[in-house]
């Protein structure tokens, strides 16, 4: 890719700082700041459904504005675009396997979190289970109605519960087996 497209790819992936060797000895200390880097979390009022290949190509196209529209690879629930949309992400908190976002908006919106879309993530919107959409091919997007919302993403790896149950069952079997062996030795 040409340099301007490479830079756009980095900026649209929330890369704000780039350490390079070509400026190593000037006043920047070798750090380039990308002023056009997307915020980590943002709201948009418009969405377009595209195929996977089209979504990837459109997302990095210089004519596409990711701060006004999100590209989805699946259909969202019913929504309508709000004229004169106004919305804000008011708070973002990161925890272990958890991201909590507070928003406020005057119409239907799509919250896009520039964290990887992958299985194992679940979302609750105001305490109610919601649906995570694949936004701009790479990221997690959630559809929100007008108003103030608390959106909580939680991660639980696939197979976690099964592994936990197998481990607890094995531990219980070890204790039972150990107790039985101990009682036999006493006799």
Q: What is the pLDDT of residue 33?
A: 86
Beta bridge partners of 129: 124
- Sort strands 147-155 and 121-125 into parallel, antiparallel or unpaired: antiparallel
Q: What is the pTM of this model?
A: 0.78
Backbone angles phi, psi at 107, to 5 degrees: -160, -175
Q: How far is CA 108 from CA 20, 47, 67, in A?
A: 41, 11, 15
The torsion defined by the Cα of 141, 142, 144 and 147, in degrees rounded to 10, comes to -80
Q: What is the pLDDT of residues 50-92, one digit of tens each?
A: 999 899 899 999 999 999 999 999 988 888 888 899 999 999 9
Q: What is the pLDDT of residues 109-153, one digit of tens each?
A: 999 999 999 889 999 999 999 999 999 999 999 999 999 999 999
């Amino acid at each position: 890719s040409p340099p301007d497209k490479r830079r756009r790819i980095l900026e649209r992936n929330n890369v704000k700082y780039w350490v390079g060797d070509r400026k190593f000895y000037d006043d920047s200390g070798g750090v380039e700041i990308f002023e056009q880097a997307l915020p980590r979390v943002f709201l948009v009022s418009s969405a377009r459904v595209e195929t996977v290949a089209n979504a990837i190509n459109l997302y990095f196209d210089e004519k596409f504005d990711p701060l006004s529209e999100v590209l989805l690879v699946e259909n969202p629930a019913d929504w309508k675009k709000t004229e004169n949309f106004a919305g804000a992400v008011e708070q973002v908190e990161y925890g272990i396997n958890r991201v909590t976002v507070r928003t406020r908006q005057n119409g239907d919106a799509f919250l896009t979190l520039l964290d990887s879309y992958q299985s194992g993530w679940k979302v609750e919107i105001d305490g109610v289970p919601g649906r995570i959409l694949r936004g701009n091919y790479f990221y997690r997007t959630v559809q929100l109605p007008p108003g103030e919302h608390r959106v909580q993403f939680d991660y639980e790896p696939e197979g976690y519960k099964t592994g936990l149950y197998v481990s607890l069952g094995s531990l219980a079997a070890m204790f039972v087996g150990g107790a039985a062996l101990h009682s036999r030795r006493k006799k």
